[in-house]
């Protein structure tokens, strides 16, 4: 298991929850640092360089959003936010600030462990692929050098904006991208009022790269938040056999 021995910083001020997370993480082979304070979390982060941060948004001193912002300004270490139910706004703001994912409270430990594995795997792949120009995700191949895109071995013609959107998705695969982040990355300062355009480009891209555009397996919609590009599609054969 590649993530074995990874260090997780748990930032959670509810002692029972923090304790349960710590015990489960240790039982699954992780090293754990834990604090209930946002300020101490930043100090621990700077000192210990954890591989991943589990971050509660409601802390007694600094807000979790501020902790997220400060960590992201110096590091790309995965951050998974623990958000209270009905705090949709904070959750989306945390993602906009660069958090990688969220788990809504109350949550099952198994769900948290699964999200941690996904985030760590994505980080490892980014490290490994940072020098490679060809990305393969299930039936899809994106050649970042030549800007060619293949689906099941057949070349697909994309417009410049469709290609840019796909490039953003595959570079951040497995990570939750809010609509605001996608707008910013696609159009920067001129992204104002282009939400509808984003939906149109996502639909067009699905038509071109999804074997079944009506049942997306690559570009997944996360209701109320944005999109997640799958990084769990491994078997191209499964796609082939599903095509009629
Ligand atoms: Ca709390």
Helices (H) and strands (E) in the chain, counts: 9, 12
> 135 CA distance to ligand 1 centroid (A)?
39
**Distance, CA 102 to ligand 1 centroid (Å)?**
14
Instruction: Tell me, in angstroms, the distance from the centre of ligand 1 to residue 113's CA.
Output: 19
Domains of the chain: 7-127 (3.40.50.2300), 132-243 (1.10.10.10)
Separation of 14 CA from ligand 1 center, angstroms? 6
Sequential pLDDT tens for the chain (244 residues) = 445 689 999 999 999 999 999 999 999 999 999 999 999 999 999 999 999 999 999 999 999 999 999 999 999 899 999 988 667 788 899 999 999 999 998 899 999 999 999 999 888 877 766 656 788 888 899 998 889 999 999 999 999 999 999 999 998 988 999 999 999 999 987 887 898 999 999 999 999 999 899 999 999 999 999 999 998 765 444 444 444 3
Distance in Å, CA 11 to ligand 1 centroid: 9
How is residue 159 annotated by DSSP? -
Span from the CA of 222 to the centroid of ligand 1 (angstroms): 24
Residues 86 and 96 sit within 8 Å (Cβ to Cβ): no
Q: What is the pLDDT of residue 241?
A: 40
């Amino acid at each position: 298991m590649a993530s074995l021995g990874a260090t997780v910083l748990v930032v959670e001020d509810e002692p029972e929850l923090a304790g349960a997370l710590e015990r489960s993480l240790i039982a699954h082979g992780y090293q754990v640092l834990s604090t209930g304070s946002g300020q101490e979390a930043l100090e621990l982060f700077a000192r210990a360089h954890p591989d991943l941060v589990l971050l509660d948004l409601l802390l007694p001193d600094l807000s979790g959003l501020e902790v997220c912002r400060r960590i992201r300004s110096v590091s790309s270490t995965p951050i998974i936010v623990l958000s209270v139910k009905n705090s949709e706004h904070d959750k989306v703001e945390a993602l906009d600030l660069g958090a990688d994912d969220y788990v809504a409270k109350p949550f099952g430990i198994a769900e948290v462990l699964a999200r941690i594995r996904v985030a760590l795997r994505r980080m490892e792949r980014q490290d490994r692929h940072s020098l490679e120009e060809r990305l393969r995700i299930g039936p899809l191949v994106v050649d970042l050098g030549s800007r060619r895109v293949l689906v099941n071995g057949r070349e697909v013609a994309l417009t410049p904006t469709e290609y840019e959107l796909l490039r953003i998705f595959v570079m951040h695969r497995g990570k939750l991208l809010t609509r605001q982040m996608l707008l910013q990355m696609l159009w920067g300062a001129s992204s104002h009022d282009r939400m509808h355009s984003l939906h149109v480009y996502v639909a067009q891209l699905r038509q071109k790269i999804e074997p079944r555009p009506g049942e997306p397996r690559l570009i997944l919609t996360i209701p109320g938040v944005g999109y997640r590009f799958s990084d769990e599609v491994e078997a191209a054969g499964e796609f082939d056999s599903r095509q009629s």
